[in-house]
Structure 1
Amino acid sequence: MLYLTKAKLLLAGAALTALAGPALALDGNDLVAKLNGALAIKGSSGFTAGSINVSGSDVIAADAKIVTDDAKQNIPLGTVKFEGVEEDGGGYTVGKVLFDNVNVTQDKSSITASDISITNLSIPADPNGNDLRSVLLYDEATVGRIVGTVEGKQAFSVDRTTVTTELADDNSSVDFDVKVAGVKADLGLVDEPQAKDTIQQLGLTSLDGSMMIEGSWSVGDGTLDLTEYALDFKDVGRLSMSFSLTGYTLDFIKSLNETTQAMAENPSNEQAQQAAGLAMLGLMQRLTFNSAEIRFEDAGITKRGIDYAAKKQNTDATQLTQMLKGMTPFMLAQFNVPELQNMVTEAVNTYLDKPGSFTISAEPENAVPFPMIVGAAMGAPNTLPKVLGVTVTAND
């Protein structure tokens, strides 16, 4: 009797296990569908696969592609493997996403990329929410060496690209950091005679540098702080930009994507384009300007540029420099902003005497709504520098 009871329990357990198996298995198609839902909200292209297979906690998408709206620039990805997939409240977390190496050829150009991966990817269950739980996020994305060729000759290459993000403990904001190392370009491949001569005179037959982006985004009030967006090239200089604005919320992003898509779908419909343009202006009214800065730090390009320009005008660098100094206040006088005119003239003179750095900043005492900026630009453009708190300096 005891034996029969145990046997029945074992059989019942086996039956429950068998019935539960399919329910616990991962749904690869659902993962891809929710991935595309999150990409659509961000205005990104779609992801498709020829076949989707599940193996334990892994989802393998074969013959995968990034598909654009017009289907003209589809990017083949080969096999994409989602490792360590777990369901999470209707969404998914993925320990690592591994991509095949990319090798795309079109006409006489080709591009290759290797060692592509994403770590700790979070795919939301519902991309229509108003917090970061509805946003596609990851800890790190990396791409190894990228090489572009034209007619068999290497035109550019990038050694490594790394994107990292860090989510705040309360899910209210996310920090992001992008580093692109070993950016090289061969400008000697340019064929157009005038451009080729300019490149050679400026000593720009090749470029060697890096790019970096740092910032944060608070989803509640939509404050986007881009603290640094920098391009740094050897023997040229370092160009960096930063800005801060408020109102860049998830709702704003969705509306912006919808308006942009409407414009793309009706390129020849004048009424549709006008309606979309008005909608875009309406969206801009949601934004508030906090600050901005653009700065250039010279590494030799200024002197070479002045020497080249002087040669083209049959003069020398000293005379051209003096000419530029003299022209600056006259060019600015037409804007009727004496304070800005004096500021820019002094900065230009300082920079031309000894090229170091040139900085334009805008930092108002209080945040300025975009409609106020547009109104000032249309009604009294000479008040804009004061409204935005503009300063111009050199070699600081």
Structure 2
Amino acid sequence: MNNRRRQTRLLLLSAAIVMAPLTSAQAQGVDAALERFKVLFEDQGISINWKNARISGDDAVLEDVTLATAEDEFGVSNISFEDIVDDPEGYRVASISMDDISVDGEENFSLSVRGIGMNDILLPNDNVRDNYGGFIFYERAHIDDIRVYNGDTEVVALTDSSVTVTPASPGSPMTYRGLVDHFSLDLSMAEGSEQWPIIEALGYQRMTGKIESSGTWDPENGQLELTANNFTVDNAGTLGFSFNLGGYTRELVASLREIQKTFAENPEGDNSAQGLAMLGLMQQMSFKQAELSFADDSLTGKVLELVAQMQGMSKSDVVAIAKGAVPFAVAQLGSSDFTTAATRAVSTFLDDPKNIRITAKPANEVPFALIMAEGMSTPQGLIKTLNVTATAND
């Protein structure tokens, strides 16, 4: 019996001796990952510190975390990491989540944020970080709820915000999709102002809607495309914007990061050199296409009716006056072709408000250097250079 006990104790002791270096190695790996997390934030001009790192296996909890920039500082309680593993490209983390945030601001304003987290994260090494945009890469991020209060009044609310990203692979760009499933904006704070009667007449005392965004980036050829960025207000319409640019390369990402870091370190100082450097970097990019659009959902009719009421006219009279004013206003841009297209588009839209869009799509991509030079010398020429046109109800 005694021999069995001795053998059991020897076995347990042997196991402890064997496992001790492994446990130590795990802790060291987690510590290194946390330090990498800190460095990546600091490169964005954000200092992140914590009073204690509670490590358990491949998991960790940063306790009493403080985020600070050169101008502000606030606490975010705890940040939790799950399943940290070493990877040839850096450190992989299954999930990172943050405790809910509540901040009291100035002039009776306060902010609350709940359900903050990321999944499938890479804390990239320096040699690959610019393949992922230069910062922490994640495949999904979410915030359940953001609310801004003025006293007891909820001024702004955003719920179910998320971003999903797929990493770039040979022959395929990085893609992303962002969504704010629901937002609300209380405009009652404007009550008593000159704008309030208009807000009230249009019925937008409290606006609701959603925000959708999507795009791609190819680190191999530097093509950056915002395929959609749509801001929808219920019972009003959707304002959309998209663009396609060239030259947003890994090298440009690295250079922009260094300039951003310098700005963040000295925000109140003389940053004219960094500003010039930023302009220089932008000239490495090129313009391919951009579009601004509006899809109506009753806003246009409401505005026309309100203007008609305020002017003591009929709605058709207001439409006729607007149509007549457009050619004179647009002619100031110095392009007869665009004046004709814009006049036709506005007339079509006012007769039957569905959608209207302004598109810039040159036959060949235009270097930003040329755009900047022409914008300073003969800005009217940009209409032709960028091939700007307008259409409606297409």
Whether TM-score is above 0.5 comes out as yes
Change (3 A) 1:171 1:161: farther
CA distance in 2, matches of 1:167, 1:141: 14
Q: Deviations over 1:334-368 (max 9, x none)?
A: 33211111001111111112211110111111111
Q: Deviations over 1:157-184 (max 9, x none)?
A: 2221111111134396311111111211
Aligned to 2:292: 294
CA distance in 2, matches of 1:206, 1:254: 42
1:269-284 paired onto structure 2 within 5 Å: 272-284=270-282
Partner letter of residue 78 of structure 2? T
Match of 2:115, SS? coil
Contact 1:28 1:52 in 2 (8 A): no
Partner letter of residue 317 of structure 1? K
- CA apart distance, 1:372: 1.4
- CA apart distance, 1:56: 1.0
CA distance in 1, matches of 2:149, 2:133: 40
Change (3 A) 1:11 1:245: same
Partner letter of residue 77 of structure 2? G
Count of residue pairs the alignment pairs up: 385
Change (3 A) 1:17 1:156: closer
**1:187 is the counterpart of 2:166:** no
Aligned to 1:154: 154
CA distance in 2, matches of 1:383, 1:129: 40
- CA apart distance, 1:123: 0.6
Contact 1:172 1:219 in 2 (8 A): no
**1:338 is the counterpart of 2:339:** no
Match of 2:225, SS? strand
TM-score by length of 2: 0.88
**1:249 is the counterpart of 2:249:** yes
Q: Deviations over 1:222-250 (max 9, x none)?
A: 21111000011111101111101112223
Partner letter of residue 331 of structure 1? A
1:193-208 paired onto structure 2 within 5 Å: 193-208=193-208
Partner letter of residue 308 of structure 1? L
Aligned to 1:50: 51
Partner letter of residue 158 of structure 1? L
Gaps of 5+ in 1: 1-6
Contact 1:172 1:220 in 2 (8 A): no
Partner letter of residue 237 of structure 2? G
Partner letter of residue 182 of structure 1? H
CA distance in 1, matches of 2:305, 2:11: 92
Match of 1:221, SS? coil
CA distance in 2, matches of 1:318, 1:300: 16
Partner letter of residue 323 of structure 1? I
Between 273-282 and 193-202, report the one with greater CA deviation. 273-282
Between 315-324 and 95-104, report the one with greater CA deviation. 315-324
- CA apart distance, 1:35: 1.4
- CA apart distance, 1:288: 0.6
Change (3 A) 1:86 1:26: farther
**1:97 is the counterpart of 2:96:** yes
TM-score by length of 1: 0.88
Aligned to 1:178: 178
**1:61 is the counterpart of 2:62:** yes
Contact 1:86 1:94 in 2 (8 A): yes
Change (3 A) 1:268 1:96: closer
Contact 1:155 1:185 in 2 (8 A): yes
Gaps of 5+ in 2: 1-8
CA distance in 1, matches of 2:83, 2:264: 38
Change (3 A) 1:102 1:198: same
Aligned to 2:360: 362
- CA apart distance, 1:202: 1.9
Partner letter of residue 286 of structure 2? T
Q: Percent identity?
A: 28
Contact 1:175 1:217 in 2 (8 A): yes
Aligned to 1:3: none
CA distance in 2, matches of 1:75, 1:234: 35
Contact 2:216 2:225 in 1 (8 A): yes
Q: Deviations over 1:96-119 (max 9, x none)?
A: 112212222223122222222211
Q: Deviations over 1:4-38 (max 9, x none)?
A: xxx99998886554445423424544323211332
Partner letter of residue 67 of structure 2? I
Contact 1:307 1:317 in 2 (8 A): yes
CA distance in 2, matches of 1:377, 1:133: 29
Q: Deviations over 1:175-209 (max 9, x none)?
A: 11111112112212324421222211221111111
Aligned to 1:4: none
Equivalent of 2:38 in 36, 39, 46:
36
Q: Deviations over 1:133-171 (max 9, x none)?
A: 964211211111222221111112222111111113439
Match of 2:381, SS? helix
Contact 1:124 1:136 in 2 (8 A): yes
